Structure 1
Amino acid sequence: MTGPLRTVSLRRRVTALSLTVLAAVLLVVGVLTDVVFSAQIRSELRQQLNVRATLAGQLVAQGVPADEVARRVEAPGIRAELVAADGRVYAGDPDDDERWMPPPWRGGPPDRDHRGWWDDDGGDDGDWGNPQVLEQPLADGSRLTLVASGGPVSGAQTLLRRTLIVLSLAALAVAGIVMLLTTRVALAPLDAMTAVARSITGGDRGRRLAPARTDTELGRTAAAFDAMLDELEGAEAAARASEARTRRFVADAAHELRTPIAGVQAVAEAALAPDMAPEDRERLHLLMLRESRRAGRLVDDLLVLARLDAGLELRREPVDLLELARTEAERAQLVAPDQRVEVRGEPVTVTGDASRLAQVLGNLLDNARRHAGPGVVTVTVSGGDRATLLVTDDGPGVAPADRERIFDRLVRLDEARGEDGGAGLGLAIARGIARVHGGDLRCVDPPSDRGAAFELVLPTPRRAA
C-alpha cells in the first residue's frame, strides 16, 4: 500500500532545485576563477622578478657597482637587497627612506645557503600583502634578494571576489524571478489536464488531451491519462450494460417463473371444487405436477447460471466423448422415440467434468428435439489438436443473424415460443460450461446446408498441458 501523494507545489519545487543547482555552479565557477586568477598573478610577478634578476646579473658582469646594481634593479612594486661579498648590504635608492625599509619577509633575510622562490605568508605586511620573494646569487659572490609586492594583487583579488559574490547573488535573484514566470508557462499542460479532469467530473466524458507528441514527459503523462479515461469509460459502459442485462434477466426470470407458479395456483384452486369428477381431478393433478417440474427446471437453470458467474467448480477426470455421446443418445431416444439419434466418429478423450459435459450434450439434443421435430439428429466426434463434437439436425435451422443471439440468456426465437419451448437458458448454460472447460460452443453452418449445427470444441489433454 502506497502512502499519500506529496502535493508540494511543483512550480516552487522546480524553482528551488534549479536555483540550488545554479548556486552550486556559480560557487564552483567563482572558486575556480579565484584560483586561476591568483595563480596567473603570481606567475606574472615571478616572471617580473626573473627579468630583474637577469638584469642584475648583466650589470654585475659589466662591473657596475653594487649600490648602482641594487638601485637599477628595483622597479615599481619590486624591492631589491644586494648583500656584497664583504657583507655590506645595499637596498635600492638610499635617498628614499621608504624604499630603504627592510625587506618584508618574516624573520629577516634568509640564510646564505638558501636560494630560489618562496611566498611570505607570515602575516599582514601592510601594502605588500602576500609578496613573492626571489633570492639569486650573482657572479661576483654577492646575493640578490628581490621582493614583489602582493598588495595590488590582494586588492584586485578581493575586488574580484566581491564582484563575483554580487553578480552571483544578482544572477540567482534574476534566475528565480524568470523561473517562476517560465515554469508557469512550462506547466500549462498540467493545468489543461486538471481542466479536462474537472470537465469530465462535471459530465463531459468525451474530452481528451490528445497530445501531439507522446515521446516527452508531459506527452507520456497525457497519453496515459487519455488511456485511463478510455478504460474508465469502457468499464463504465460495460458496468451499465451488465446492469441492464441483469435487470432484464431478473425481469425475464420473474416472468418465466410467474407462468408455472400461476398455473400451479390455478390448478390447485380448481382442484378444490367439491363436485369435481375423479378423472378431472386426476387430470388437474397431472397438470400441477407438470407445471411444478417446469418451475423446478427453471430454478435449476438459474442456479447453474449463478454458479457459472461465480466460477463453476469442475470435477476433472478423463472423459471419452464418443461413449458420452452414445449414452446421451440413448437417453434422448427414450424421451423422444420418434426421433432417431446417430452417433459417429472415433474415441476421443478429454479432461473435464463428465456430468457437466453430459449436461451440455443433453441440452443440445433437447434443443434439436424441440426445434427439429421427428427426424434424424447426428452427433459426430472427431479428434486432433482439439476435440470436436458436432450436433446436426434436419430441422428449419437457425438464421445467420440469430446464431450468436441464441446464446444470450432467456432468448428464444419466435418459433420456439411454444408450450414446451423452454426458458431460453439451455444454450447459455451449455456455452458457459464449455468455456469453463477451456473450449467453446458455436452455432455453425450445417454440413448439408439444411437444419442447424452446433459445434462443441474442447482442448485435448496434450493441448491443455
Structure 2
Amino acid sequence: MPTLSGETRAPGRDWRNPSTWHLRTRLVLVAMALLVAICGAVGLFSYASMDLFLTRQLDTQLDQASGRAREFGRPVPGNPGRPDPLEARGQGVGTLNARILDGAVSSAGFLAGDASRKGLSPDDNHVLVALTPNGVPVDRTLSTGAYRLTAVQAPYGDVIVTGLPLAEKQNTLASLVWTMVVVSAGGLVLIGLAGTALIRRTMKPLEQLSEVATKVSRLPLDAGEVALAVRVPASAAHPGTEVGSVGYALNQMLENVSNALEARQHSEMKVRQFVADASHELRTPLTAIRGYTELIRMTEHFTPDGQKSLARVQSQSERMTTLVEDLLLLARLDEGQPLKVGDVDLTQLAIETVSDEKVMAPDRIWQLELPEEPVVVRGDGTQLHQVLANLLSNARKHTGPGTTVVTGVMRSADGSAVVTVTDNGSGIAPEFIGRIFARFARADAARRNPAAATTAAVRSGAAPAAGAGTGASAGAPATTAAAVPTAEGTSGLGLSIVQSIVEAHGGTVEVTSRPGRTEFAVRLPATPPSA
C-alpha cells in the first residue's frame, strides 16, 4: 500500500500458490514429477515381473520336491510302517514335508540348515490340515516363516504336503526394491540438477526480456526528456522462436514508444518555448498598462463609475502580471536551470512567512510548531520562501475566519527536513486529490453546488511571494460560510509551482485531507541534487 514517502510495498510470493512460482521452478518440478511417475511405473512393472518369475521358478521346484516326497513315501509291502517323505533324496535345506492320514498329521517337519530334521508346532499342523489337496501352490505363514505349500492326494490314499521357504524369494524382491529406489533417487537427483541447469539456460532469454521490461517500467516516462535506449539483446530477439518472437516484438514496441516519446518531447519543448517567449513579451506591455493606469488615476478626474472601471483595469493587469511571472518561473523550472544553492534556515523562513500571512489575514489563527534547534538545509532561499508562501496563501484563501493554520518544521530520522502546513478547514474533495498539483487545475464549487457559489472558495490559489509573483494553487472547495469567494482570483498554478520547486530540490510534496484536517507535507533532503 502507498506510504507517506510514496513507496509501495510489492506483494510477496506465496509458496502455497503454484501460480506465483518462477516458471523454471514449475518446469523443473513438472519434469521431476514425470520422472518419478516413470520410475514408479518401471519399478512396479519390474517388481511384478520378478515376482512372477520367482514364483514360477519356486513352483517348479516345489512340484519336483512334492513328486520326490510322494514317491519316497509310498508304503512298502510287508512293512507296516510308512517311509518319511522328508527322507527322500534331493530335498533341499528348508524343505517341509508332512503326511496327513484321516484328517490328522501323522508326521511333519523340515530340514534345518545343518541338515537335521526339525518339527512343527501344533498351530502349524492345523494350517497343514486345512490345505486343500488339489496340488495348487499357496502361500502360508508358519512358525518357522513364510512357505509356499502344496497338498497332493497320493495314489495310496495319503495326503502329502510339501513346502519350500519364501525367504529367498522375498530377499531377492527386497534387494530389487532397494536397488531400484537407490538408483532412481540418484538418477532423479542427477537429472534434477542437470535439468535445472538446462532449463535455466533455456529460460535465460525470458529473464533478459523481464530485465528489459523492468528497466523500462522504472523509467520516468511521464514527463521530461527520456532516453529509451534499453533493448532486448539480439540473441533473444530471433523471430524464428517463440521467445525470440516475443523479444523481437518487444524491441519493435520499444522503438515505437521511443519515437513517440521523442515526438512528445519535441512538442512539449515547442509549447514551453512558446509559453516562455509569450510570457516574456507580455511583461513589457503589462508594465506599461499598469504604469499608464496609475498615471491616469493620479492626473485625471473620473466619475465614481470611471474610478471603479479604472481600478478594475489595474487589478486585472496586476493579476495578469502575476500569472505571467508564474508562467516564466515554471518555464525556468522546466528547463532545469541551476539552483542558487545556499544555507536556508527553515525555522526562520517559517517565522517570517507566517508573520506576513498574519498581517494579510488577522482573522485566522496562525500557529508555529518549531524545534529548539534551527533546521538548516541547502537550497534556493527565494524559491523555498515561495513554496511556504504559496502553501500558507492556499490555506488562507480557502478557509474561513477562525480557522487554525499550523506551520511545522522538523528534522526526520534520515536527516531530511519536513515542513508541514495544516489547517482544520472542511478539507479537499477526494476526487480532486489526484490532480491537485496539476497546472491550471481548479475545483469549481459553483458547478457542484450553485447555492454555495458565493460562499465557497476554490482551494486553488496562492499569494505572491517576496520578490516574485506567485500563482494560484490547485485544491478543493472549502465550505465554511465565511470563506473568501472565488472572485479573489486564482490561476491554478500555485501548487504546481510548489511541486516543481520541491522536486528541483530533490524533495517531495504530499497532501492528505479529510473533513477537519488538511495537511501539505514538504520533505527536503539534507543536500539537494546538483544541477
Class of the TM-score when normalised by the shorter of the 2 chains: 0.3 to 0.5
| TM-score after normalising by structure 2 | 0.39
Question: Larger Rg: 1 or 2?
Answer: 1
Greater helix percent: which structure?
1
| TM-score after normalising by structure 1 | 0.45
